[in-house]
């Protein structure tokens, strides 16, 4: 069933039921106050029982949904449950829903979208990718008039902040991580940022918007920055490169390529100039033109900006964001080929790795190799095997052909 967006009254100030009052929840409240919004107001906030200490705060979802002033529900709790259950309850209560929850939409987007369509209300998630950058909104707009060929960029601000700090201050990985946590960029458990799974969630979600396909999680090679050491950064800088955590998906004659990995960029590449916790999110159109958006990829206020964008779309009756009738697909990286930098110890014996090497440097106990151009899936799998012996670091090397 098509979304019946007529359920939203456009000529009144719409009340928001806010689930979660953390970084983004408070950001939305501040943004609505700062802009003196005459379009939206926060009618009710769901908080934990011990924290529901204001007259507009409630501690159970039913009270929030039964409030006649709540027209749209904004979910910024994070996590899978109870966020999924609460969103289903909101949609079944015929409330449109806006969420910033990339993990949830990745895993349960189809179920939630079907529920939204069955109830004739919209489900939107622009803030799930790019924080404050209007990336998904742009992809939706662009694909109306051109076939998007490729998408990608630096989609995780925390790892970018760490890489930039390590490059500029020559500091250790652990010090960069501590600084990211102190500044509130990285969470207490930073695994999603440093293992690349946050970028994976974001590129996969961008992929379904751009290509109308969910690419199977397991088929997307995903490497983060967790194995990087300060010495690697110095070596990479001496080669004249900048390292960034890169995510991409693109059409090829064999289907869709998709991967997440650290990559080395030349100084003139746009990615190399992305500093601090910024993101770059680009797309390539049917004329092979690459267009990029750069900005704050996280933070309460920027992310609230994307939520407000979705609220406006709902008020203007634009509908949901997931395509109708999309299919699932396995990524095919056989034509995603570029050289790699691999650091191992002198003690690691691998004839296969040796055979792949084009250039080799020995620095103390470390060996740095640059490989022949390799298929992405193959090299990710090889490194996983070699890691049974030692914590190898590797990064793709960006070439003009891979962009
Ligand atoms: N932060 C960003 O820059 C950013 C950017 C883009 C997208 N997002 C997404 O936005 C969502 C929220 O992120 P955030 O950074 O705002 O997280 P956060 O600061 O941890 O805030 C989450 C809030 O939800 C509350 N909460 C969690 N479970 C609850 C429950 N069962 N009942 C009531 N309250 C509950 C938490 O309360 P307690 O403090 O009591 O646990 C906290 O106030 C996530 O999905 C995240 O991926 C965040």
**Looking at the domain 5-128, which fold is it?**
Rossmann fold (3.40.50)
Q: Cβ contacts of residue 11 below 8 Å, gap of 6+? A: none
CA dist., res. 316 & res. 177, Å (int): 42
Name which of 207, 218, 222 is nearest 327 in CA terms. 207
Cα-Cα-Cα-Cα torsion 126, 130, 133, 139, nearest 10 degrees, comes to -60
Question: Quick one: pLDDT at residue 5?
Answer: 52
> Cis (ω within 30 of 0) for the bond into 82?
yes
DSSP state of 222: B
pLDDT in tens for each of the 403 residues of the chain?
344 455 677 788 999 999 999 999 999 999 999 998 899 999 999 999 888 889 999 999 999 999 999 999 999 999 999 999 999 999 999 999 999 999 999 999 999 999 999 999 999 999 999 988 999 999 999 999 999 999 999 999 999 999 999 999 999 999 999 999 998 888 788 999 999 999 999 999 999 999 999 999 999 999 999 999 999 999 999 999 999 999 999 999 989 999 999 999 999 999 999 999 999 999 999 999 999 999 998 889 999 999 999 999 999 988 899 988 788 999 999 999 999 999 999 988 888 889 999 999 999 999 999 999 999 999 999 999 999 999 999 999 987 655 4
Q: Which two tokens stand for residue 350?
A: 């691998």
Ligand 1: lining residues by beta carbon, under 6 Å: 20-25, 46-48, 51, 76-78, 82, 100-102, 127, 131, 298-299, 303
User: Catalytic: 202?
Assistant: yes
Contact yes or no for 80/111 (Cβ under 8 A):
no
Dihedral pair phi/psi, residue 45, rounded to 5°: -125, 130
Question: Quick one: pLDDT at residue 267?
Answer: 93
Question: Quick one: pLDDT at residue 401?
Answer: 54
Question: Quick one: pLDDT at residue 1?
Answer: 38
Question: Quick one: pLDDT at residue 190?
Answer: 93
Question: Quick one: pLDDT at residue 400?
Answer: 64
Question: Quick one: pLDDT at residue 184?
Answer: 82
Nearest residue CA, atom 42 of ligand 1? 22
Question: Quick one: pLDDT at residue 313?
Answer: 95
Question: Quick one: pLDDT at residue 11?
Answer: 82
Q: Strand 255-266 relative to strand 374-375: parallel, antiparallel, unpaired? A: unpaired
DSSP state of 109: H
Q: Which of 202, 328, 335, 349 is catalytic?
A: 202
Name which of 207, 232, 236 is nearest 220 in CA terms. 207
- The residue ranges of every structural domain in the chain are 5-128, 145-293, 337-402
Ligand 1 atom nearest the C-alpha of 101 is 45
Q: Within the chain, what is the greatest distance between any pair of CA atoms?
A: 71
Q: Which two tokens stand for residue 258?
A: 């998709």
Ligand 1 atom nearest the C-alpha of 46 is 33
CA dist., res. 115 & res. 38, Å (int): 30
Distance 78 CA to ligand 1 centre (A): 5
Q: Strand 366-371 relative to strand 357-363: parallel, antiparallel, unpaired? A: antiparallel
Distance 23 CA to ligand 1 centre (A): 7
Ligand 1 atom nearest the C-alpha of 79 is 45
Q: Which two tokens stand for residue 172?
A: 């250790």
Question: Quick one: pLDDT at residue 187?
Answer: 78
DSSP line for 242-262: EEEEEEEEEEETTEEEEEEEE
**Looking at the domain 145-293, which fold is it?**
Dihydrodipicolinate Reductase; domain 2 (3.30.360)
Contact yes or no for 102/129 (Cβ under 8 A):
yes
Dihedral pair phi/psi, residue 77, rounded to 5°: -85, -40
First to last CA, the chain: 39
């Amino acid at each position: 069933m098509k979304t019946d967006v007529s359920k939203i009254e456009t000529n009144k100030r719409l009340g928001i039921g806010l689930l979660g009052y953390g970084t983004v929840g408070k950001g939305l409240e501040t943004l609505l106050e700062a802009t003196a919004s005459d379009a939206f107001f926060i009618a009710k906030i769901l908080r934990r029982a011990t924290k529901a200490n204001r007259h507009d705060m409630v501690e159970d979802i039913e009270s929030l949904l039964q409030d006649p002033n709540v027209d749209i529900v904004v979910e910024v709790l994070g996590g899978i449950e109870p966020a999924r259950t609460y969103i289903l309850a909101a949609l079944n209560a015929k409330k449109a829903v806006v969420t910033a929850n990339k993990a949830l939409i990745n895993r349960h987007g189809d179920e939630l979208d079907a529920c939204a369509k069955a109830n004739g209300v919209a489900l939107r998630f622009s803030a799930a990718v790019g924080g404050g950058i209007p990336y998904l909104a742009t992809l939706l707009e662009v694909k109306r008039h051109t076939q998007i060929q490729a998408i990608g960029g630096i989609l995780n601000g925390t790892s970018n902040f760490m890489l930039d700090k390590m490059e500029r201050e020559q500091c250790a990985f652990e010090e960069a991580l501590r600084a990211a946590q102190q500044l509130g960029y990285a969470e207490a458990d930073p695994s999603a940022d440093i293992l690349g799974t946050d970028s994976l969630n974001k590129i996969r979600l961008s992929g379904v918007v751009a290509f109308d396909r969910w690419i199977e999680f397991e088929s997307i090679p995903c490497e983060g920055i967790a194995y990087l050491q300060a010495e690697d950064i110095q070596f990479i800088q001496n080669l004249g490169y900048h390292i960034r955590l890169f995510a991409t998906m693109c059409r090829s004659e064999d289907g869709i390529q998709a991967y997440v990995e650290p990559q080395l960029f030349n100084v003139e590449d746009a990615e190399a100039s992305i500093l601090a916790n910024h993101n770059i999110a680009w797309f390539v159109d049917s004329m092979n033109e690459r267009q990029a958006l750069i900005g704050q990829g996280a933070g309460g206020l920027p992310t609230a900006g994307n939520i407000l964008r979705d609220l406006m779309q709902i008020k203007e009756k634009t509908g949901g964001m997931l395509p109708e009738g999309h299919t699932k697909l396995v990524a095919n990286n056989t034509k995603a080929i570029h050289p790699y930098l691999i650091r191992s110890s002198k003690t690691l014996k691998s004839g296969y790795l040796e055979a792949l090497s084009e250039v080799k440097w020995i620095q103390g106990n470390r060996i740095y190799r640059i490989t022949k151009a390799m298929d992405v899936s193959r090299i990710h799998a090889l490194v996983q095997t070699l890691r049974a012996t030692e914590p190898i670091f590797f990064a793709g090397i960006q070439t003009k052909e891979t962009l």
